[in-house]
Amino acid sequence: MSYVCCCSFFRKNNPLLWTIVAGDDERTLKESTEQVRRAKHIIVNENFDRLSFSSDIALVQLSSPLEFSSAVRPMYILHRMEPQFLSEICAVTGWGSISKDSGLANCLQQSMLEREMCEHTYYSGHPGGITEKMICSGFAATGGKKFCQVR
């Protein structure tokens, strides 16, 4: 069984340092839907560029398979990029900050932002800008929520 995530977090790709929690909707609560696994092996994308964060994805082999349920489902990876969808809800996995100076969020749901707006507003200084292999994500001007855009 495998898990996919961003590889920029794997500064040290030692599987012993990682615990995967699937089915966890609320970070601060212990839920009956949670399944905890250790990482067995980590494969960082060989094309990952630490400067531009292009191809920022890794495959993590879990210590044992997950049991699929209403809270734990497989993620399908597209073979080709689909057209952009604007004004849709986009879910970002993990518990990132909800504003620049805030702590971690408990649960995130995100709105879409057009790639050009995201790149201009949040990534103008990023080397190479937003590429076709990235998800555009940044803090919104209002409400502190992040935007994401599959491009």
Domain boundary among 62, 81, 97: 62
Tokens of 94: 């993990």
Instruction: Give alpha helix (H) positions in the chain.
Output: 115-122
Q: What is the pLDDT of residue 17?
A: 83
Burial 16-54 (b: 16+ CB within 10 A, else e): eebebebbbeeeeeeeeeebebebeebebeeebeeebbb
Q: What is the pLDDT along the chain (151 residues), one digit of tens a residue?
A: 445 556 555 556 678 888 888 888 777 788 899 999 999 988 888 888 777 777 777 888 999 999 999 888 887 666 665 555 444 444 455 555 555 566 666 664 455 556 676 667 666 666 666 666 666 654 444 444 444 434 3
Total domain count, the chain: 2
pLDDT in tens, 29-54: 888 999 999 999 888 888 887 777 77
Taking the C-alpha atoms of residue 149 and residue 57, their distance in angstroms, rounded to an integer, is 16
Q: Is residue 72 part of a domain?
A: no
Q: Is residue 69 part of a domain?
A: no
Q: Is residue 122 part of a domain?
A: yes
CATH number at residue 26: 2.40.10.10
User: For residue 9, which phi and psi values (nearest 5 degrees)?
Assistant: -75, -15
Tell me the Ramachandran region of residue 25: left when phi exceeds 0, alpha when psi lies from -120 to 50, beta otherwise.
alpha
Q: Is residue 109 part of a domain?
A: yes
Domain boundary among 12, 47, 62: 62
Taking the C-alpha atoms of residue 56 and residue 14, their distance in angstroms, rounded to an integer, is 17
- The residues pairing with 135 across neighbouring beta strands, listed in sequence order, are 150
Q: Is residue 108 part of a domain?
A: yes
| Long-range contacts formed by 102-107: CB under 8 A, 24+ apart | 102/144, 104/27, 105/27, 106/26, 106/27, 106/28, 107/25, 107/26, 107/27
Q: What residue numbers bound the domain in which 142 lies? A: 89-150
- Confirm whether pTM is higher than 0.95: no
Three-state secondary structure call for residue 88: coil
Q: Clarify whether residues 142 and 106 are in a common domain.
A: yes
Q: Is residue 27 part of a domain?
A: yes
Q: What is the pLDDT of residue 128?
A: 67
Three-state secondary structure call for residue 60: strand
Q: Clarify whether residues 55 and 94 are in a common domain.
A: no
Q: Is residue 70 part of a domain?
A: no
Q: What is the pLDDT of residue 38?
A: 92
Total Cβ atoms within 10 A of residue 77: 8
Q: Clarify whether residues 43 and 93 are in a common domain.
A: no
